Structure 1
Amino acid sequence: MASVTIDKRQKANGDFSYRCTIRVKKNGVIIHRESKTFSKKELAKTWGKIRKEAVELNSITAQDKVISIGELLDLFINDVYLWAATGRTKQYVVKMLRDYPIADVLSNQLKSSDL
């Protein structure tokens, strides 16, 4: 479910601008956020309404492409251009990470405590 917030902000020259922020939450966690600043409140409302509908139609929450960290590392290793531009030490570390338990963690469930 997307929500729209419009904040009135005063610029240094005394004029006002309006920042429209769109947030999408899933299970109490923000999974998508975007904002844009406008000179008029009506423009901010219109953009927010249109963008909210677009986000809900595209269903950002339905685009969950969940793969493991190990699969992401494999994609990195198999990309010829990225891998060739990577130094020897980084290549070693990426291959080493592939063999550790962190490779089994799903990309959408990775937390700083996993590192």
Structure 2
Amino acid sequence: MASFRKREKAGGSFSYTAYLRYKRKGKMVYTESETFPKKKLAEVWAAKREAQLSELGALERAISGLESNSMTVGELIDRYFVEVFPLKPWWRSKTDTLKQIKNSEFGQLAASTVKASDIITHCRKWNERSSSSTTMQHYIYIKGVFGVAAELLRCEVDYSQIDVAQRTMPKLGIISKAGS
């Protein structure tokens, strides 16, 4: 069962933190929490996460840390849709682009093992069909998903690989800003 805590922020608004705690033989074996601007969002997240953890073997994987290590980029994008969109809605074009990424070869890779070369390869393939500014959107959305992977989506990724790809792709003409 989840517990919730209401906290007043400096500006006078409130945030709500949902806590999930699991004990075995009186010892805490797993804890997880997320903070939201509205209590309803915290309740929805807690209910979804409790349902996920109630699936056969899910809690054990979460405890051992294996839950996040086997997630593909496509699964990570699915979690991004579920967890981030309710908090920060975006336009349909971003949804369409994320679905393209999810359904690509890049989407089948294990998220925890993604290297800069994988990102560059994905963007290079996309750039063959489109402009470098459109390919930049792919990169930006990948960066956005990976940027919240560890903290919000509970998937450990090597974010430094994003930065390496970003420094390399303009040199190869794969990405550029609009109008250049």
TM-score (norm 1): 0.49
Task: Select the structure of larger CA radius of gyration.
Answer: 1
Q: Which has the higher strand share?
A: 1
TM-score (norm 2): 0.32
Q: Which has the higher helix share?
A: 2
